[in-house]
Amino acid sequence: MMKPVFMTYTKKDLINLAVCMVLSVLVIPTFITTEYWYTSILIPWLCLALATIGQQIVMGYTGQLALGAAGFMAAGAFAMFNLILRVPDLGFVGSLIVSGLIAAAFGILFGLPSLKVRGIYLMVATLASQFFIIWMIDKFGWFKNYDSSGIITAQDIVILGKPFTTPLAMYFVCLAVTTVLTLLAMNMARGSTGRNWMAVRDMDIAAESMGVSLLRTKVQAFAISAFYCGVAGALFAFCYLKSLEPVAFDIKLSFKILFMCILGGLGTINGAFIGAAFILLFPVLLNAIGNNVFHGAIDATIISSIEQVIFGGLMIIFMIYEPLGMAKLWENIKQKWKTKIPSSTNLKSSLGKKT
C-alpha cells in the first residue's frame, strides 16, 4: 500500500523556508515600523501574491487562459462578509476556508467551458464569470446586507477571541495564511496533482491518452485556483481595503493579476511573489520619481499612463525574449553565478516558443 505523503521537502527547501520565515517574522517587524509599509505594501503584496498563485495554478500550471481572478476574489470577499455576519460561530479561520470553498464552487461552474474550448475562447468564457459575479453582488442587496451606500465596512478580524486590528497584526494574519497556502501550492505543484496539470498544459491529448482525466484535472485546477483567489479576495477586503465594494474587484484587477502572473513567470510559485511585488512597487517607485526628481511637475494621471505603457511594453518584451518571466530571469542569473554554464534544461510551457 502506498504511504500517504502530505509534505515532501528537500534540505534546500527547508533552508529557503527558514530564511523566508526569519525574514518575514523577525526581520521585517523589527526593522519596519512605519505603518505605511504594512498597510500599503506588504499586506496587499501578500494578498495579491496569493491571488496570483491562484492564477498560476490555472494558467501557468494547467495552461488554461483564464481572466476572471478578480471575480472569484469578489466572491470570496463577500462570502467572508456574509459568513461573519450571519454565521458568527464559524470564526475567522473557518469563514476564510468556507469563503474559499464558495469561490471554488464558482470556479468549477465557470471552469466547465474549459473542457470544450481553449485559448481566447476560454478567456471569453471566464470573462463571463468576472462580469456575472460582480453584477450578482451588486444587484442582490442580500449580499451587501441591504446596505444602500454601496461601500460596506469590513468587520474586525477576531481570532480565538483576540482582535487583530493593528497593521502589524493584520500583516501576521496575511502572512500566516499565505505561508500555509503557498506551501500547499508548492506541494500540489510538485506532486501528482501538479504533474497532471502540467501534462494537460503541455499536450492535453497526450495527457488524456496517458490516463490523465481531463475533466478531473481541469475542474480541479479551476476549483483550487478559485479557492486561492477567494481566500486572497477575503484577505484583500478585510486586511487591505477594510471595506467591501464590488467595484474594487473589477476587470482591471483581473488584468493586474494576469500581468503579475505572466511578468512574474508562468508555472512558478515564486514568480507569483515576484510579479506581485513588481506590479505593486513599480507605481510607487514611479510616483516617488515624479515627486522627487520632477517635484510634482508631471501630472499624476500622466504618471499612471506612463506606468501603463511600461507594463504593456514589458509584457511585449518578455513575450519576445523570455516568455517565462522574471522568475526565469532570476533562475538564469543564479545559474550563471553558480556554474558559468548556461542551463540546458528549458521548461517548455504552452506559452513557450514553438519547437
Partner 1 sequence: MVEELLFFMEVLVGGLLAGTMYSLVALGFVLIFKASATFNFSQGAMVFFSVLAFVGFMQDFNIPFVLAFILAALLMVVVGLCTERFVLRPLMNASEDTVLMATIGLGYVLEGLAQAAWGVEVRRLDLGIGDFPVPWIADNLKLFISALDITAGLVAAIMIIGLFLLFKYTKIGLGLRAVADDAGAASSIGIPLKHIMLLVWSAAGVVALVAGCMWGARAGVQFALVDLALKALPVLIIGGFSSIPGAIIGGLIIGAVEKVLEVYIGPFFGGAIEGWAPYVLAIFFLLYRPEGLFGEKIIRRV
- Residues lying near partner 1 in the complex (CB under 8 A) are found at 65, 113, 116-117, 119-121, 123-125, 127-128, 131-132, 134-135, 138-140, 203, 205-206, 251, 255, 258, 262, 301-302, 304-316, 319-320, 323, 350-354
- What's the residue count for the chain? 355
Phi–psi pair at 324, nearest 5 degrees: -95, 10
Q: Which of 331, 332, 174, 312 is nearest to 242 (CA)?
A: 174
* Distance of closest approach, residue 104 Cβ to partner 1, in angstroms: 19
* Distance of closest approach, residue 127 Cβ to partner 1, in angstroms: 5
* Distance of closest approach, residue 306 Cβ to partner 1, in angstroms: 6
Q: Which is nearer to partner 1, 38 or 222 (CB)?
A: 222
CA distance 31 to 92: 29
CA distance 99 to 93: 10
Q: Which is nearer to partner 1, 84 or 276 (CB)?
A: 276
Angle at 276 between CA 273 and CA 280, to 5 degrees: 140
In the block, cell 493593528 appears at 166
Q: Which is nearer to partner 1, 56 or 95 (CB)?
A: 56
Start-to-end Cα distance in the chain: 41
Q: What would the DSSP string read from start to end of 217-259?
A: HHHHHHHHHHHHHHHHHHHIIIIII-EE-GGGGSHHHHHHHHH
* Distance of closest approach, residue 259 Cβ to partner 1, in angstroms: 8
User: Would you state the cell numbers that stand for residue 144, as one nine-digit string?
Assistant: 451587501
Query: Is 21:226 a contact under the CB 8 Å cutoff?
Result: no
Coil vs helix vs strand at 304: helix
* Distance of closest approach, residue 262 Cβ to partner 1, in angstroms: 6
| Bridge partners (DSSP) listed for residue 152 | 244
User: Would you state the cell numbers that stand for residue 346, as one nine-digit string?
Assistant: 528549458
* Distance of closest approach, residue 276 Cβ to partner 1, in angstroms: 17
Q: Which is nearer to partner 1, 112 or 176 (CB)?
A: 112
Q: Which is nearer to partner 1, 204 or 331 (CB)?
A: 204
* Distance of closest approach, residue 161 Cβ to partner 1, in angstroms: 39
Q: Which is nearer to partner 1, 116 or 338 (CB)?
A: 116
Q: Which is nearer to partner 1, 47 or 125 (CB)?
A: 125
Q: Which is nearer to partner 1, 186 or 326 (CB)?
A: 326
Query: Is 103:75 a contact under the CB 8 Å cutoff?
Result: yes
* Distance of closest approach, residue 152 Cβ to partner 1, in angstroms: 18
How far does Cα 304 stand from its chain's mean position? 22
